[in-house]
Amino acid sequence: MDRSAVREVYGLLGDESPRLRAAAAGLSASLIQEEAKHAVKAAAGAATRTGKAGTAAAGLATPLEPEAGELRSAEVTVLLDVLSWLQSDPQQPLDQGVVRLLVGALYDLLPAVRDVPCLVSVLSSDQLSERKVGGHWGAAHLAAILAASLQLAARGTGGQGELDSARKASKSKAATAKGDSHQEGSLALMAKLPGLIRKFQTEAAVVLPLLTCARELRFELFALRSEERGLGNLLALVADQVSRHADSRVVAAAADCLVHVVSAGPGSLQAAAQLALNNVVTKTGNAFASAAKAVMQLDDEELASEVEELAGGTDEVAEGAQTLWRLHCAAVRVSSLLARNVMGLAAHATCRDALA
């Protein structure tokens, strides 16, 4: 198949039609696996030729078949290239919904997309953070793959189960397997997710799906493993993203995670989640009240100047409009939290007065 035909096949993985996604999934998985295998063998051959494969004779040092872990990492790299090809706008990553459709289509056919330890390993690599693989949005795309994989495992649903009647008889077995994947993925992320959030906390496009991962963890594992302190640290880190970002989606994802643990998490963990949520409410309410007060203290000339500075609608801090910018960011956070039914914010006295 020529390159354009291959891209057309890959493009169907994100199609709205489940039948088209299913039709493209088998061929796409095979293409990804073959390209990954070729890349691993080529790299091994190059290493042997340059003496990097050890002192063994050339040819004997190269395994006939790549090891599973190495091959899966290569499959992830190829998949990131696929996502980069599918971008219609190079200025922003693919929508998480599109990535979720693609992962759902490949979930039962490409083991790499459900191998959370492998996905985490690639996401943690310097090559990805330095944009050496996956293009500019490689980290954002891989974080979205990780989130989609964990969501599918949590819900016990793959991308093609509804279309393949032959699988209906083994539905219980498949659900059990996905439940195991959810547990294994959660265990891998319990230790690694805080570090990933810290590593990418200045990049909203990466933090957003990582917060989705936090929401999808099996929180009872923290209780079973006596990791309440670890959960408290993770939730504090999740809460911290609210004040770091003015992206309403990031704020909403952080709030969703905290509210979920408060309302549906194990009883022994709810206090830690409530504490983190209370801190978010207090910090956000106070910041909004302070920003509103600062704007009220501007005279007409200063206010007009700052409005003019912000007229371009940029997402960056305008040099002469920091007072209005702080109010804008605070208002985004307040509105996002209120939309998530974080009722403590509505009752926050200083925030309520500022809104009035």
Section 288-312 average pLDDT: 88
- Measure the CA–CA gap between 296 and 302, rounded to whole angstroms: 11
- Does the residue 324 lie in any domain? no
Q: Which of 1-10, 173-182, 226-235, 297-306 has the lowest mean pLDDT?
A: 173-182
Residue 171 has pLDDT above 60, yes or no: no
- For residue 248, tell me if it sits in a domain: no
- Number of domains comprising the chain: 1
Phi-psi map region of 218: left, alpha, beta (phi>0 left; psi -120 to 50 alpha): beta
121 assigned to some structural domain: yes
Task: Look at residue 113 and tell me if it is in a domain.
Answer: yes
What angle, rounded to 10 degrees, do the helices at 3-11 and 68-86 form? 90
Token pair 């997710």: residue: 193
Whole domain around residue 113: which residue ranges?
3-218
The DSSP letter of residue 42 is: H
Task: Flag whether pLDDT at 165 surpasses 50.
Answer: no
Over 60: is that where the pLDDT of 159 sits? no
Mean pLDDT of the chain: 84
Distance, in Å, from the CA atom of 290 to the CA atom of 296, rounded to the nearest integer, reads 10
User: Using 50, 70 and 90 to split pLDDT, how confident is the model at 308?
Assistant: confident
Query: Over the stretch 181-206, which tens digit does the pLDDT of each residue have?
Result: 899 999 999 999 999 999 999 999 99
Q: Answer whether residue 223 is part of any domain.
A: no
CA angle 26, 30, 35 (to 5 degrees): 150
The answer to whether residue 236 sits within a structural domain is: no
pLDDT tens for residues 25-56? 999 999 999 999 998 988 877 767 666 555 44
